């Protein structure tokens, strides 16, 4: 088991990193865990980035991992890379973001049964990778209606391949006849 640490975290941040690393490294089938701290100031929403490589060679990267990504009532699984693909999501109201694949996340309904926590997403890495393989490759995109009528566009960006992210829904109309 290889464990890499890159950090400029506060003491609390280093403790959270250690807790996250310990929980994920203990999962069956995990070959390595790399944990890094974002801004150094942590909240329950999380500020830790985690890259997990399974013994089968599957790689997953999660953003904003924190205490609420684990436990009896987890609430966040934000995927930023699966294999060679990065999920990109954009709306008029948000900057470019990654895919929330937990129960209440925008793409949570794509998984059955739903993903409850980061460890479950790691255990089901084949499902996560398969989901992203079906996304259109950037710059092509699909649209999805979200909560409160917000329109999101999403695509998968392959590493090493030139491609623009999807345009913001408010920047361009898909109806070219107007």
Three-state secondary structure readout of the chain: CEEEEECCCCHHHHHHHHHHHHHHHCCCCEEEEEEEECCCCCCCCCCEEEEEEECCCCEEEEEEECHHHCCCCCCCCEEEEECCEEEEEEECCCCCECEECECCCCCHHHCCCCECCHHHHHHCHHHHHHHHHCCCECCCCEEEECHHHCEEEEEEEECCCCCCCCCCCCCCCCCCCC
Residue-wise pLDDT tens digits, 115-170: 889 999 999 999 999 999 999 998 899 999 887 788 899 999 988 776 677 887 87
Flag whether the pTM goes above 0.85: no
17-59 pLDDT per residue, tens: 888 899 999 999 999 999 886 654 444 456 788 999 999 999 9
């Amino acid at each position: 088991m290889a464990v890499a640490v890159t950090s400029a975290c506060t003491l609390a941040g280093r403790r959270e990193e250690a807790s996250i690393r310990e929980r994920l490294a203990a999962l069956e089938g995990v070959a390595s865990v790399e944990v890094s701290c974002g801004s150094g100031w942590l909240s329950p929403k999380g500020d830790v980035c985690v890259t997990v490589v399974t013994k089968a060679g599957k790689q997953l990267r999660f953003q904003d991992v924190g205490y609420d990504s684990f436990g009896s009532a987890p609430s966040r699984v934000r995927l930023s890379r699966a294999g060679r693909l990065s999920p990109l999501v954009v709306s008029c109201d948000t900057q470019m973001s990654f895919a929330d694949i937990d129960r209440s996340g925008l793409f949570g309904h794509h998984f059955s049964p739903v993903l409850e926590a980061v460890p479950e997403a790691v255990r089901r890495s084949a499902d996560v990778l398969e989901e992203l393989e079906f996304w259109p490759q950037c710059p092509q995109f699909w649209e999805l209606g979200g909560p409160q009528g917000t329109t999101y566009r999403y695509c998968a960006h392959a590493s090493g391949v030139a491609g623009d992210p999807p345009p913001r829904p408010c920047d361009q109309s898909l109806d070219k006849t107007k």
